Structure 1
Amino acid sequence: LLSSLGVNVNFAPVCDIAGDEDDFMYSRSLGQDAETTSEFIRQTVSLYSENSMGCVLKHFPGYGDNPDTHKGIALDERELTEFETRDFLPFSAGIQEGAECVLVSHNIVSCLDKTVPASLSEEWHSLLRGELGFTGCIITDDLSMGAIRKCCDIQAAAIQAIKAGNDLLCCTDYGIQLPAVIEAVRTGEISEERIEESVRRILAWKLRLGLLPEDAVLS
């Protein structure tokens, strides 16, 4: 269906583990334990790959029982060990199966960074690249959501998102945020090398999805 509509990337599957029906993320999740969810993610990513459809694992590092970040700030004070033994497992399964993109949530996850949402945190992006070994594209959740608006200026958020390590920005306010990023590159606040790093990842993903000529060479 997606292919017939000309869609080449779906912002799914949801990797979050939510076992309580009262949790904000419950209705969007599988609603099962880490092991069951991990197997679901593994099979789902495999099917996306077989059908040449891009997929996005979300919402890293795992949404848990946190409130709705569309409306405001959510503070997650769980220990890192809980993420390592539970929430990371579906993401790891998807990464190992070849998922090309991971979406990072706006939850402030204090065990690694107490100051900014994970989507703007260099520490969380470093962990995703390092501990989980992810080499594909990282994208933010929408940078116009309440959790972002209540913690920082939306122009500054777009700039920080790039500096933190995101390759793609999901932004409803692109008319404001895109020019802010371009100006930050012009002034040197964001280096051209940082932009090119992300561009190479994006082009590599497009190549694997068959959206570039087969003889395209990425250096």
Structure 2
Amino acid sequence: MSPDAASDDLARDAFAVLLPAFASLDCHAVALPLLECGCTSILIGETRAEYLARRMSVERLAAETEAVFSGAIARLREACPDLIVAVDQEPIGIRRLQGLMPFLAEGEDIRELDSATIEHRAAEMARAARRLAVTAFLAPILDVVTGRNAWLSGRTLGASPEDVGRIGAAYIRGARAAGIAAVAKHFPGFNELARDPAMYDVSLETPRETLIADALPFRAAIAAGVSGIMAGPAPVAALDPDNAACTSRAVIDLLKGEFGFEGLVVTDDLDAPATLRGRPVAEVAVTALAAGADLLLVVGGPHLHEVADGILDAVAAGTLPQERLRDAARRVRAFAAGPGAVSRNGRC
């Protein structure tokens, strides 16, 4: 391989590890150049108002039909046939595909459903998502919330690790059986937070012993074959008081070591104040990769070209090992070609 070809491949790797999030399907002007540069994934997200309301807007529900949604994704796949198309489709809480598929639980307590019913309904949801060309659910939420936590209010599966683990594992098995990759979140679990980490720089102060006990649902998810795990957006003081969980080597080493997870490690939103902690997003992206994260969730926009440049600069400076970047990109592409892939042909 010539030096120029190797350099081009490395540049594509820097884009491949980015997961740009867009609040609208009308994102092609920004998303297509990213895909052409090597990006292999996209999060079709929601607005801040929808995020807070835990439901999609009346305007979105009226405008987004199955044909509109799948048509928008088809345009993106022209640039990247093996495209990871992710959505927040939580069992309860934020359900980006509201109006386009049935809910897993509506008007009933999900904890009252047996595992077989949850698995069956999750598979139905996944089949509907496949018709829309979606390949991954950023779900289920496995945090066991036992205190104040406005960030996860209305989104969690209960206060019992056993209940959350059972429901989460059934959801994962159902989605996986129907060809959708599940990404469980938010490791190691945030039982309480004084403020929303998407708005404030806040840390989790829970003792390590409680963290490990409450993380039982992640063990159940791994046993169920979960494809990816998202680490959380705020520091976990008992493990690493300086870095958010998704940018912390200590947290990611715990996930890969003591928990034995070998799948894709995904960050939460790197743009969150509790993750940035006053640093530029490119610097935080390098920190996350060096810590062992593979796929970096970031707000979509033209600035991501600068983030990719920052990653390449870190490789050139020796602060990010080249092999770590190449390994992360390989793992992202393998995820794209896994159970959630629509196409296995083409090179993005």
Between 1:125-134 and 1:180-189, the stretch displaced more is: 180-189
**1:130, CA displacement in angstroms?**
0.3
CA distance in 2, matches of 1:113, 1:58: 18
Q: Are 1:96 and 2:223 counterparts?
A: yes
**1:143, CA displacement in angstroms?**
0.8
Q: Are 1:82 and 2:210 counterparts?
A: yes
Q: Are 1:159 and 2:286 counterparts?
A: yes
Structure 2 vs 1, CA of residues 207 and 44 (structure 1 numbering), >3 Å: closer, same or farther? same
| 1:22-101 correspondence to structure 2 within 5 Å | 23-66=150-193, 67-86=195-214, 88-101=215-228
**1:107, CA displacement in angstroms?**
1.6
| Aligned residues of 1:15 and 1:37 also touching (Cα < 8 A) | yes
Q: 2:324 pairs with 191, 194, 208, which one?
A: 194
Unmatched 5+ stretches in structure 1: 215-219
CA distance in 1, matches of 2:134, 2:290: 29
TM-score, normalised relative to structure 1: 0.89
**1:22, CA displacement in angstroms?**
6.0
User: Percent identity at matched positions?
Assistant: 26
CA distance in 2, matches of 1:171, 1:207: 22
Match of 1:217 in 2: none
**1:34, CA displacement in angstroms?**
0.9
Structure 2 vs 1, CA of residues 148 and 107 (structure 1 numbering), >3 Å: closer, same or farther? closer
TM-score, normalised relative to structure 2: 0.58
Between 1:111-120 and 1:24-33, the stretch displaced more is: 24-33
CA distance in 2, matches of 1:113, 1:74: 13
**1:175, CA displacement in angstroms?**
3.6
Q: Are 1:203 and 2:330 counterparts?
A: no
**1:59, CA displacement in angstroms?**
0.7
Match of 2:120 in 1: none
CA distance in 2, matches of 1:213, 1:164: 29
Corresponding residue SS for 2:296: coil
Unmatched 5+ stretches in structure 2: 1-127
Corresponding residue SS for 2:151: coil
Deviations 1:97-146 (A, max 9, x none): 11111111122111111111111111111000000000011111111112
Structure 2 vs 1, CA of residues 84 and 150 (structure 1 numbering), >3 Å: closer, same or farther? closer
Structure 2 vs 1, CA of residues 84 and 21 (structure 1 numbering), >3 Å: closer, same or farther? closer
The structure showing larger relative contact order (alpha-carbon pairs under 8 Å, at least 6 residues apart) is 2
Structure 2 vs 1, CA of residues 21 and 106 (structure 1 numbering), >3 Å: closer, same or farther? closer
| Aligned residues of 1:143 and 1:169 also touching (Cα < 8 A) | yes
CA distance in 2, matches of 1:161, 1:134: 17
Structure 2 vs 1, CA of residues 153 and 38 (structure 1 numbering), >3 Å: closer, same or farther? same
Structure 2 vs 1, CA of residues 61 and 115 (structure 1 numbering), >3 Å: closer, same or farther? same
Between 1:146-155 and 1:192-201, the stretch displaced more is: 146-155
Between 1:151-160 and 1:109-118, the stretch displaced more is: 151-160
The residue type paired with residue 296 of structure 2 is L
CA distance in 1, matches of 2:256, 2:147: 30
**1:186, CA displacement in angstroms?**
3.0
Corresponding residue SS for 2:298: coil
